[in-house]
Amino acid sequence: MAAAREQSAGGDSQVAAALAETAEVADAAGVRPLPVLVLS
């Protein structure tokens, strides 16, 4: 799924997708990724 998203996304959209995935994983783990918030 991530590969398909990367192929269809470009530039900022690809970065946003990566940040969204990171946020989803962090949320599932019950943590708040401050570096992700700073980068976004």
Q: Distance between alpha carbon 3 and the CA centroid of its chain, in Å?
A: 13
Residue type, 39: L
> Based on the number of CB atoms within 10 Å of its own CB, is 12 exposed (0-12), middle (13-18) or buried (19 or more)?
exposed
∠ CA 9-12-21, rounded to 5°:
70
Task: Give yes or no for residue 9 having a pLDDT over 50.
Answer: no
**DSSP per residue over 22-35, as a string?**
HHHHHHHHT---HH
Name 16's Cβ contacts closer than 8 Å, sequence gap at least 6: 9, 40
The proportion of the chain whose per-residue pLDDT surpasses 90, expressed as a percent, equals 0
Domain ranges (residues) in the chain:
2-39
* pTM strictly above 0.85: no
Read off the pLDDT band of 7 (50, 70, 90): low
